[in-house]
Chain A
Amino acid sequence: MQNSPDPALPLLEVRGISKSFGAVRALQEVDFTLRAGEIHALLGENGAGKSTLIKVVTGVFPRDAGIVRIGGEEVAPRSAKAALAAGIATVYQEVNLLPNLSVAQNLFLDRQPMRFGIVREGEMRRRAKALLAEFGLDIDVAAPLSSYSVAVQHVTAIARAVDLSARVLILDEPTASLDRHEVEILFGIMRQLAKRGIGIVFVSHFLDQVYEISDRITVLRNGRLVGERETASLPRLELIRLMLGRELAETTSARASVGEHKVREICASFENYGKAGYVAPFNLELRHGEVVGLAGLLGSGRTETARLVFGAERADGGKARVEGAPVRLQSPRDGVRHGFGYCPEERKTDGIVAELTVRENIVLALQAKRGLHRPLSRREQDELARRYVKMLDIRPPDPERPVGLLSGGNQQKVLLARWLATSPRLLVLDEPTRGIDVGAHAEIIRLIRELCDDGLSLLVISSELDEIVTYSDRVVVLRDRAHIEELAGEAIDVGNILAAIAADSVAVALEAHT
């Protein structure tokens, strides 16, 4: 039915796609081009807009602007089903199949071979077996999908997509839960499919794998297209620079704003602190009035470190001290008791309570700390809310407005205020500037510096290297779930951080797999 695609035309063309969620601009004028038979890596840090781009192209989210063409023809799918009909299939990391159905039913759901209104079970199994054989899989297709490994489930999902005559196959973090051997199998299948002329979009944060499999790389950052390059001509350092920061020359000057070093008292220290399979044991000292930045790629162990420090995750070894005294941090309650605060990355899901007002959100943590039998009076609450709304310049300055109606930057400030109200000694901020527009961005950074000048100790995670460089007194660089380097003073600049992240990561990755 379909004409074979004109080789001169790209298979999938995305032009000028924009998408906002409320005040947050998730995608701005993004272009993306996929040629037939190529494996194209789509890269970017968390929140760069990869998932949003995929969801907009496949019609899961409606788009605000831009066009999508397949084989030169404009398409505007309104649902994943319509996208599939247009020839775009997506396989997510969380396999979107039905674990309770048999493998065969999963492959042929809603298009089973029928006779007289009855599913021809035998025929369906025979076809399922034949289809999976093409992908080098020989399994009992009558068994429920859940009885197989994630790798088999992935291959099943890909087989289904390809069998549904997909021309564009989007694989979103397909290798995240596969072991090395399974990854090889998957890559074999991907190469085979590419040979058949299918265009494959490969989303992954494993750079080694990207270099191994992809022909071309597109990098997004903060919802914008940063560049499209051929993999072969893009050195790793250059790629990481594209993903994490601006050109070196632009950022080196920004360091000046950090104040002179004084010897400061230790607020909390961690010795050989770690958890097997989570973060390798690390040593970390956090001092009063000091900002420590955590830098590294997605999945390098930044958030994991923060969660261990706060007590949201239990360490299985090492010592923690607060003001010199040994402490046990086994739950977030412990963290709060010792004067720690934690602003998580996912504001919407882990942080703010959108339905409650600014005032209610601000007093939450303090009330929890005091316990239910010592309620804050309404007067005290109003007082607190007024103080922090003024101090952090929360807008609009209305303590009785539901937080859900505020912009991302102001929500972040409310979250900050919540922890500041508990007068913490240590505050952990995970991606405090994520999804915040440029103006609010600078303000949050200014706030971070100010808080620290008041003697607070801050541990900040950010994917924006130039930002980390701006406010950090020390920077801990992470890679593959281990702390690999600590930079201080003059040594802190984007180039050094990038070099630390990129340094022999191949060797390390190989080690991790053996």
Chain B
Amino acid sequence: MRGLPPALITAIVLVAGFAACAVQFPNIASTRVVGNLLTDNAFLGIVAAGMTFVIISGGIDLSVGSVIGFTTVFVALAIERWGMPPLVAFVVVIALSAAFGAAMGAVIHVFDLPPFIVTLAGMFLARGASFLLSTESIPITAPIYSNVSDFALRLPGGGRLTAIAIIMLAIVIGGALLLHLTRFGANVYALGGSRTTASLMGVAVGKMTVKIYMLSGLLAGIAGIVFSFYTSAGYSLSAVGVELDTIAAVVIGGTLLTGGQGSVIGTFLGVLIQGLIQTYINFDGTQSSWWTKIATGILLFAFIALQQGLVALARRPLAKSAGAAT
């Protein structure tokens, strides 16, 4: 479908990168490493799925990293200090983050403000709120946490597909179905094409904006819970800068930063590429982990250049008739 060609390129880059890594470190090509890759990047995959919707609709959500941080602190406090049953805490925090996203969407639509500014404010707000709750790292000792950490599907070759990796895969698949098969998904693309036109064609732009940011907030909340499973703690400084990793994954996955084109599957592949780079650097052992950022940066540049090229190519047949309209 739409957006597949760029996503296909992402897939090729991933496979080629994986093969190159495997040549140097044959151990990388094992289900164990792949399983860990999925587990380590589960929260990123979840939040990036939500970000994909936002970016395709022509927006951006800078608040997701802070929402993850807030969620971990809230969950830790609720379970450990306030004695809330974990499941209740999860439901409450997901509702909170979804409402937070919806509120940002409403502000963006009602006051016609740039999403960048509104979600930047949201980012400071959520981070500030998590500091208000607690400034220290709170370990979570509830039994559900050890149970979830212990649960895993055995993969052939000794790998483990953990619960949080499964949650991430389910959300990626669900997100892809939502984006490509439903009216909601079509409207997301419509908004990214042009808000004005979409509105003229009968799309309820306001409702859609609220729903899209609500979805992003909701997934950020789930990502926060998954992150707390991953670290077994809540800390107000966790997931700082994750919004940028997320945007990078979405763009590397072939989604147009200006909206209108993209796919959740591409984003998932983008997350895996970032994870692969990290894994490679861990294997190598001599490089600073900051090389992950540098490699990601180079990839980003490459993909943005590629997209511009594709966009220019797509516009070419129209250039002639556009010139005649002056």
Residues on A facing B (Cβ under 8 Å)? 80-81, 84, 93, 96-102, 105-106, 109-112, 114, 117-119, 121, 144, 146-147, 149-150, 160, 176-177, 277
Contacts and interface: CB of A to CB of B under 8 A. Distances in A.
Interface string B115-139: 0000000000000000000000000
B189 interface: yes
Contacts of B304: none
B202 A147 contact: no
A106 B194 CA distance: 12
Contacts of A101: 2, 186, 189-190, 193
Contact of A80 (B193, B200, B315): B200
Contacts of B192: 100
B181 interface: yes
Interface in B179-193: 181-183, 185-187, 189-190, 192-193
Contact of A147 (B193, B200, B317): B317
Contacts of B322: 150, 177
A147 B321 CA distance: 12
Contact of B193 (A81, A100, A150): A100
Contacts of A97: 197, 201
B324 interface: yes
A100 B260 contact: yes
Interface in B1-16: 2
Given A100-B2, A109-B190, A177-B325, A81 B183 contact: no
A111 B190 CA distance: 13
B321 A177 contact: yes
Interface in B300-326: 314-315, 317-318, 321-325
B203 interface: yes
Contacts of B185: 119
Contacts of A112: 183, 186
A480 B202 CA distance: 39
Nearest to A118: B181
Nearest to A304: B326
Contacts of A110: 183, 186-187, 190, 201-203
A132 B5 CA distance: 27
A176 B201 contact: no
B186 A150 contact: no
A119 B183 contact: yes
Given A80-B200, A150-B321, A100 B183 contact: no
A20 to B, nearest CB: 24
Interface string B170-213: 00000000000111011101101110011111110000000000
12 contacts: A98-B201, A109-B190, A110-B183, A110-B186, A110-B187, A112-B186, A114-B183, A121-B181, A146-B314, A149-B318, A150-B322, A150-B325
B142 to A, nearest CB: 36
Contact of B186 (A80, A109, A147, A160): A109
B177 to A, nearest CB: 8
B261 interface: yes
Given A81-B202, A150-B318, A144 B2 contact: yes
A100 to B, nearest CB: 4
Contacts of B261: 100
A160 B202 CA distance: 12
Given A96-B200, A98-B260, A146-B314, 11 more contacts: A84-B202, A98-B190, A99-B193, A105-B190, A109-B187, A109-B190, A109-B203, A112-B183, A118-B182, A144-B2, A149-B317
B197 A105 contact: no
4 tightest A-B contacts by CB? A98-B193, A100-B260, A177-B325, A100-B193
A149 B321 contact: yes
Contact of B315 (A98, A102, A146): A146
Contacts of B194: 98
B202 A109 contact: yes
B324 A177 contact: yes
Contacts of A119: 181-183, 185-186
Nearest to A121: B181
Contacts of B2: 100-102, 144
Nearest to B320: A149
Contacts of B181: 118-119, 121
Contact of B182 (A81, A98, A117, A144): A117
Contacts of B201: 96-98, 106, 109-110, 160
Contacts of B182: 117-119
A96 B194 CA distance: 9
Given A81-B199, A109-B187, A119-B182, A176 B325 contact: yes
Nearest to A178: B321
A93 B186 CA distance: 24
B186 A105 contact: yes
A305 B78 CA distance: 73
A98 B193 CA distance: 6
Contacts of A96: 197, 200-201
Contacts of A144: 2, 314
Nearest to A90: B200
A111 B181 CA distance: 14
Given A81-B202, A110-B202, A118-B181, A100 B189 contact: yes
